Structure 1
């Protein structure tokens, strides 16, 4: 629920209270994917390759479209901040209708676009079949996964981020157990190999949704919203509001995630050792990114509630708190990457050649941290203000017009080689952070002017 804070200490306390459960949730979600890869790798190399291919298609398609539903968080946060609770139920219900539509779109894309594309790839027949079966298994959980995304946005917008944390902490171990049963065929279950990881995730998504729905229906904290009663007809007016905020967010997420997939594909001309070292650096920095991402999501909630309540000064202070938290953590990340890079690389592989290459990639990854730490909370703040289109446009400009061409030129025409792609990404991310900083100041000044007029 929206909480008024008067002192800086109260704001810091509230920010941490909101952010820590989000961080735990994001790390747990990350670990679910990590164990899919780890356990499949223990089963068979071909099955690991199949799951890797399947994941590379699933991630941008799912996260881009599911990101549309993240637009619900600032919408509900502003409704709560404005004490307009009566609008929450119809907004959530219409978002659930939207989630069904998005589930159908993802299913169609997977069945009639992604699966044929995989079958036409120049890969081993077994690898292609595992990738297809893995995606089929994931698809059985599409409807509950998208519906859960709506309920999570509802919980988070109210500041009840511990609910999402509890659900994932319950579900993650169950997913690992299902992996154990369905990948390896233990205790009489069918031995599905890599496809088993997909079916395990699909079944887990149903469990996650049912737990979330039960909490939303039964908990005294959420009963007043009566989310599952008085279902209205489809309202395209509310769909328009949800999509106007959500579509740019989904596109922004797609732009950011797909750029790393494209860079990895462009690096396929290098040796397997270079590609492996690149993946190690990318994998570990993805884990570190969970902190600025969680700060960003917390910033969206608190800025949204503040703006809804007409507290523009609070919104500004929560924004700077978010940037401060992320920047402080970035210094720790830089220290870890520079001082422990050899030890980190050694956790992934015993191959000394790959370790040497990964150590060099980690140097560039360290430079990545500061720009990430500035950009992520600014994106979160702008979403809290419901200023989302500019974030998408800046993402396209910074990554695809600045970052990727710069990286390609440096990789192809300088001695940097594969490292050039990382320099390009750093350049793009830095440009994006600078532009979004100016955009944030403009939006804040507009909000201050608007509040003075009222």
Structure 2
């Protein structure tokens, strides 16, 4: 045991130093999600159901785009390990160009979805709320991708504090604006769900502007700014960004799609089921985002050691990160289990929704280990730039296992929303095991 601790001690400390700002930044996003859901839910249960449907569609688009931007981290992390600051600055310039093209593509795709929103089988009473909210969120996609490019660059050079502070201040601003626009405070019109969308758009515009200002003005970034300004676009860098970014986008997109398509299935069960699903997804995202903050630290540490060709510490960084995420999972799952009877009332006054939320706690607890494993080893694979197999693993886990299981449990066995949720442990645990086996194979000494 002493030998085990001494082997990983330095990695634990380094991951905590690097990962804590990322976790805090992710918690800021979660607090925003909680505030959104609480404010909208207490304004109207039907608005909460509409928000659930739209937010899950856009979560798919945003996670897909975030996955693409993650292609920058192993490139910048490796260059940082080699102390090539000019190359890292050039990589950011290429990443911004690539992300803008992806933003254009996603905007077109999501607009086509909007034109067919009535074909998704959602309750008719939700459509007048869904449509305007959807369009406002659509306008914010461009700014999400610009922010992603700057954030992944900063993470890759181990500057995780800058994105943490921007996220925290941006989300605090967002929450205040949410309250003012949803309820019509200080003479502003009471906009309800649409007000939540407008505040989201404004916050997403402000954050990338703040990051760009710091990049071009801060002394911290001068060595990288020189590379950004002096080096032109590189076909090789652009090719590498796309080669890494697209598999990551599809891997993360397929995971999120399993939740998004599950939301569509839950919508077939009615507004109460959809509202309870949204409450539990918001709670679940708390754990996911905290784990993913540490997962991002794993990717950075692994990519730094990969740049130095230090495979022993590549493995140790990944395993140390997995140990930390497991500890987080035990604490998070235990806390939510103890609070299970109090979760629903935080978000809504509906007794029906509250009762249904309690039934979803058991499947939620079942998939925490699998979720932690797939996050740890997916990020470890990202750190060593072994990303193509991740697409196939994600397809098997989420499309061939999770989604069919969700339909079977939810509708064939008639378990309802609880049955849909019972599929998640199967998909996430399968992914975690396969990502681990792939990482182990690729890093054998």
Q: Does the pair score TM above 0.5?
A: yes
Distance 1:168 1:307 in 2: 29
1:11 counterpart residue number: 11
Distance 1:384 1:204 in 2: 30
Distance 1:47 1:342 in 2: 23
1:386-421 deviations in Å (ceiling 9; x for gaps): 111112211110111122223333344447554333
1:300 counterpart residue number: 299
3-state DSSP of counterpart to 2:367: helix
Distance 1:346 1:396 in 2: 36
2:222 counterpart residue number: 223
Distance 1:140 1:289 in 2: 26
Residues 34, 261 of structure 1: CA spacing in aligned structure 2 closer, same or farther, 3 A cutoff? same
Residues 1:91 and 2:75 are matched in the alignment: no
Q: C-alpha displacement at 1:282, in angstroms? A: 2.9
Q: C-alpha displacement at 1:56, in angstroms? A: 2.7
Residues 421, 198 of structure 1: CA spacing in aligned structure 2 closer, same or farther, 3 A cutoff? closer
What are the residue-to-residue correspondences of 1:32-111 with 2, within 5 Å? 32-44=32-44, 47-111=47-111
Distance 2:422 2:196 in 1: 35
1:258-293 deviations in Å (ceiling 9; x for gaps): 111212322344465555444433331221222221
Residues 278, 238 of structure 1: CA spacing in aligned structure 2 closer, same or farther, 3 A cutoff? same
Residues 1:386 and 2:380 are matched in the alignment: no
Distance 1:219 1:79 in 2: 20
Distance 1:243 1:399 in 2: 23
1:21 counterpart residue number: 21
3-state DSSP of counterpart to 1:386: coil
Distance 1:188 1:270 in 2: 38
Q: C-alpha displacement at 1:20, in angstroms? A: 1.0
Distance 1:57 1:414 in 2: 26
Distance 1:72 1:232 in 2: 17
User: Is the CA contact (8 Å cut-off) linking 1:82 and 1:310 kept in structure 2?
Assistant: no
What are the residue-to-residue correspondences of 1:258-277 with 2, within 5 Å? 258-270=257-269, 273-277=272-276
Q: C-alpha displacement at 1:73, in angstroms? A: 0.9
1:271-321 deviations in Å (ceiling 9; x for gaps): 655554444333312212222211211100100111112222211111111
Residues 175, 157 of structure 1: CA spacing in aligned structure 2 closer, same or farther, 3 A cutoff? same
Task: Give the number of aligned pairs.
Answer: 440
Distance 2:297 2:137 in 1: 28
3-state DSSP of counterpart to 2:20: helix
Distance 1:417 1:19 in 2: 38
3-state DSSP of counterpart to 1:83: coil
1:101-146 deviations in Å (ceiling 9; x for gaps): 12222222233x0221225566688843443322333344333321
Residues 402, 97 of structure 1: CA spacing in aligned structure 2 closer, same or farther, 3 A cutoff? same
3-state DSSP of counterpart to 1:222: helix
What are the residue-to-residue correspondences of 1:181-192 with 2, within 5 Å? 181-189=180-188, 191-192=190-191
User: Is the CA contact (8 Å cut-off) linking 1:94 and 1:234 kept in structure 2?
Assistant: yes
Residues 335, 315 of structure 1: CA spacing in aligned structure 2 closer, same or farther, 3 A cutoff? same
Distance 2:223 2:386 in 1: 30
* Deviates further, 123-132 or 357-366: 123-132
1:430 counterpart residue number: 429
3-state DSSP of counterpart to 2:260: helix
User: Is the CA contact (8 Å cut-off) linking 1:140 and 1:203 kept in structure 2?
Assistant: no
Distance 2:378 2:189 in 1: 45
User: Is the CA contact (8 Å cut-off) linking 2:96 and 2:146 kept in structure 1?
Assistant: yes
Residues 144, 221 of structure 1: CA spacing in aligned structure 2 closer, same or farther, 3 A cutoff? same
Q: C-alpha displacement at 1:165, in angstroms? A: 0.7
Distance 1:95 1:252 in 2: 19
1:291 counterpart residue number: 290
Any unmatched runs of 5+ in structure 1? 1-5, 449-454
1:59-106 deviations in Å (ceiling 9; x for gaps): 212321232111111111011112222211111101111122122222
1:210-230 deviations in Å (ceiling 9; x for gaps): 211122122222111116853
1:319-369 deviations in Å (ceiling 9; x for gaps): 111110111222223323443322334434555554444333212211111
What are the residue-to-residue correspondences of 1:22-421 with 2, within 5 Å? 22-44=22-44, 47-111=47-111, 113-118=112-117, 127-189=126-188, 191-226=190-225, 230=229, 234-270=233-269, 273-349=272-348, 354-414=353-413, 416=415, 418-421=417-420
3-state DSSP of counterpart to 1:432: helix
Which structure would you say has the larger RCO, counting Cα contacts within 8 Å and 6 or more residues apart? 2
Distance 1:106 1:377 in 2: 27
Distance 1:270 1:138 in 2: 25
3-state DSSP of counterpart to 1:317: helix
Residues 206, 34 of structure 1: CA spacing in aligned structure 2 closer, same or farther, 3 A cutoff? same
Any unmatched runs of 5+ in structure 2? 1-5
User: Is the CA contact (8 Å cut-off) linking 1:92 and 1:227 kept in structure 2?
Assistant: no
User: Is the CA contact (8 Å cut-off) linking 1:216 and 1:227 kept in structure 2?
Assistant: no
